[in-house]
């Protein structure tokens, strides 16, 4: 029996291609693992009305970790139009499988390291080494949304919230409500995870990202909770930043930042900004981490315009696999893999289109595998 059971979820479009390149690297590392294929993505929505079928959920209940490629997502109405005729009009509502997976398995940490590897022609500045901790299960992604808005909700908001007055006269389908729900527990555990990471990895500073001056209730709770947690880490510098100002300062002085922790939506935004500073989506690796399961994936999507061409950069997925090795406790293999990625980037002989080269997705995987 293998030491690890790993769910293998390529998904849609370029997800299949970057995962194939990643497998070349994991095989070269001789990780003692059994890879179990799981169904996820657009074809399963269209054909069965569920992009994240129960059998895949069951698979995830019985593995040590999962690697996920990318999926195609479409708005609710467009999604319904692509269902097989038998399933149309049955009230099926499309929800992103990755958002469902995060909530179902309580994968509350979205970890996104962004490092400028020397020699990467896409680096915005040399020496950038940022780590984003994004809360992954609540905030504006709680899924509590209304359109049209039920009269009962409008009546309650009219009674309880004075700023609702200008909206009260609108017809139910003329406006929409999405609830931003932050909890003390959710805020506490993501901020603690960021500080623990900083402590273990001797990082100097944690920046708490918010907009509590305007979004007083939910961001206010996040910020207050972050302050409580920070008080337990006197040796780590704590910094607080409004999301809008932070975007500006991050671009101006990225090296002033170290570990960043944010509620879900702001975390989503800054992790793409940070990824762009170290090479863009071809380098944006990530882990969705809970207390029992962790799912690792590139932060890019299925990029339909490149699907089938094997030209996109698999480094984001390969670095996500490296994060999985850390999660599994395979520190030596993780370090070897990072060194191999860094060496290929530094040498600059094998480059995919985004790096100004013409090598294929699989050639990049093979080059990294040869370095191991």
List interacting residues with ligand NAD (CB under 6 A): 18, 70-73, 98, 281-282, 297, 300-305, 312-313, 316, 354
Closer to ligand NAD by CB, 50 or 258: give it: 50
238 HSE (CA, 13 A, CB side): 22
Q: What contacts 14, CB < 8 A, 6 or more positions away?
A: 69, 70, 300, 302, 303, 306, 307, 312, 361
Task: Return d(Cα 268, Cα 287) in angstroms, integer.
Answer: 13
Closer to ligand NAD by CB, 40 or 262: give it: 40
Paired residues of 11 in beta bridges: 70
Q: CB of residue 92 vs ligand NAD: minimum separation in angstroms?
A: 18
Closer to ligand NAD by CB, 22 or 218: give it: 22
In this structure, are residues 209 and 243 in contact, taking their beta carbons and an 8 Å threshold? yes
Task: Return d(Cα 360, Cα 309) in angstroms, integer.
Answer: 8
Q: CB of residue 312 vs ligand NAD: minimum separation in angstroms?
A: 4
Q: What is the DSSP letter of 350?
A: S
Q: CB of residue 114 vs ligand NAD: minimum separation in angstroms?
A: 15
Closer to ligand NAD by CB, 13 or 186: give it: 13
What is the SS3 assignment for 137-174?
Answer: CCECCCCCEECCCCHHHHHHHHHHCHHHHHHCCCCHHH
Residue nearest to ligand NAD (CB): 301
Q: CB of residue 248 vs ligand NAD: minimum separation in angstroms?
A: 23
Q: CB of residue 117 vs ligand NAD: minimum separation in angstroms?
A: 15
Buried b (16+ CB within 10 A) or exposed e, 61-83: eebbbbbbbbbbbeeeeebbeeb
Q: CB of residue 212 vs ligand NAD: minimum separation in angstroms?
A: 28
């Amino acid at each position: 029996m293998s030491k690890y059971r790993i769910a293998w979820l390529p998904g849609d479009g370029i997800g299949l291609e970057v995962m194939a390149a990643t497998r070349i690297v994991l095989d070269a590392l001789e990780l003692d693992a059994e890879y179990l294929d799981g169904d996820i993505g657009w074809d399963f929505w269209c054909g069965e009305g569920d992009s994240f079928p129960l059998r895949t959920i069951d698979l995830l209940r019985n593995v040590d970790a999962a690697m996920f490629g990318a999926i195609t997502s479409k708005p609710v109405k467009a999604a319904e139009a692509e269902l097989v005729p038998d399933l149309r009009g049955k009230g099926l509502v499309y929800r992103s499988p990755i958002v469902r997976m995060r909530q179902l398995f309580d994968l509350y940490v979205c970890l996104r390291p962004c490092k400028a590897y020397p020699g990467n022609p896409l680096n915005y500045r040399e020496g950038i080494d940022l780590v984003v901790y994004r809360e992954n299960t609540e905030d504006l992604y709680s899924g509590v949304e209304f359109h049209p808005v039920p009269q009962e909700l409008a009546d309650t908001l009219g009674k309880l919230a004075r700023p609702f007055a200008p909206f009260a006269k609108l017809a139910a389908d003329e406006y929409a409500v999405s609830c931003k729900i932050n909890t003390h527990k959710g805020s506490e555990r993501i901020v603690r995870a960021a500080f623990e990471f900083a402590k273990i990895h001797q990082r100097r500073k944690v920046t708490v990202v918010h907009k509590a001056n305007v979004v007083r209730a939910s961001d206010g709770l996040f910020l207050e909770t972050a302050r409580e947690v920070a008080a337990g880490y006197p040796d780590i510098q704590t910094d607080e930043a409004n999301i809008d100002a932070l975007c500006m300062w991050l671009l101006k002085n990225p090296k002033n930042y170290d570990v960043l922790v944010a509620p879900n939506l702001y975390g989503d935004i800054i992790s793409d900004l940070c990824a762009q500073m170290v090479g863009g989506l071809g380098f944006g690796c990530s882990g969705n981490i809970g207390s029992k399961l962790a799912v690792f994936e590139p932060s890019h999507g299925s990029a339909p315009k490149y699907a089938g061409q094997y030209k996109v950069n698999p480094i984001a997925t390969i670095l996500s696999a490296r994060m999985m090795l850390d999660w599994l406790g395979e520190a030596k293999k993780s370090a070897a893999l990072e060194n191999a990625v860094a060496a290929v980037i530094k040498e600059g002989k094998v480059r995919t289109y985004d790096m100004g080269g013409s090598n294929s997705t699989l050639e990049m995987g093979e080059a990294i595998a040869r370095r191991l």
